[in-house]
Amino acid sequence: MITVVILTWPNHPTRWKYFNNCVPKAFSLMTASRHEIQWKCVTETEVDPLHSWYGQHIEKFCSSRGIPLIEKRTPADLGAAMNFAARQSNSKYTVILQDDFLIKHLVDLSPGIELMEEFPSVDLIRYSWPGHLVSFKEPFHGWKQINEQGDWPYGDDPHLRRDNFSDKFGYYHEYERHGASESYMAHSLQTKKATILATDEPCFGHFGNMPSVINDWRKDRPKR
């Protein structure tokens, strides 16, 4: 079995639109032909006082599809949310899908799971990455192998991980500047010389620029 955890922030109407673009399409195109997929949804609960709250919409959506909804009852933060989402999985393999990554085509997770079962040295498989930033090493049994010492070896974009990921690489840094949790995790994978594979082409694209947290320091993002 594999768990796919949807991670969402319903504290702005634009984020609710992201969810509606991302999640139904993922349901139809994200498969595991030889494994069972367990879907879960983790939602932030910090309300933005300047905008409408869409938590009840998330609740109705998940209820209508029989998806467990787990509320993270602490201030909104990406690192804390990633840690919380990872803890909700009770299976050996997990994918965390943030609500602003749009699946491009059919994705079968079973080949990746079977490869990781066969080769315990493989630490994660990336299904999305910024193509102009990463570099590659020699292929690994027909899969692309990311140069872990190059730029952007890790991203919060969808990837397949084992249940011992946090034991090996640590937890995400919480409540720091934007991007710090992802950067520190990338550094951990570099330091520990992780084996990181990737699909032939990115299977997801990042399509949103509305901040997930209320107080975001980035100057290039729209104001809430």
Rounded to the nearest angstrom, the gap between the alpha carbon of residue 74 and the centroid of all alpha carbons in its chain is 19
> What is the per-residue pLDDT across 131-178, written as a single tens digit (0 to 9) for each?
888 999 999 999 999 999 999 999 999 999 999 999 999 999 999 887
Judge whether residue 182 has pLDDT over 70: yes
Residue 218 lies in a domain: no
Domain range holding 22?
2-206
Phi then psi dihedrals of residue 159, to 5 deg: -150, 155
CATH number for 89: 3.90.550.10
pLDDT tens string 79-126? 999 999 999 999 999 999 999 999 999 999 999 999 999 999 999 999
Confidence check: pLDDT of 27 > 90: yes
Residue-level pLDDT at 210: 73
How far is 156 from 137, CA to CA, in rounded Å?
Answer: 21
* pLDDT of 223: 52
Task: Rounding to the nearest 10 degrees, give the CA dihedral for residues 92, 79, 21, 153.
Answer: -70
224 pLDDT exceeds 60?
no
Domain-located, residue 31: yes
Report the pLDDT value the prediction gives residue 17, as an integer from 0 to 100. 94
Total domains, the chain:
1
Residue 43's pLDDT band, with cuts at 50, 70 and 90, is very high
- pLDDT for residue 10 is more than 60: yes
77 part of a folded domain: yes
Task: Give the pLDDT of residue 218.
Answer: 44
Q: Has residue 155 been placed in a domain?
A: yes
What percentage of the chain reaches a pLDDT higher than 90?
87
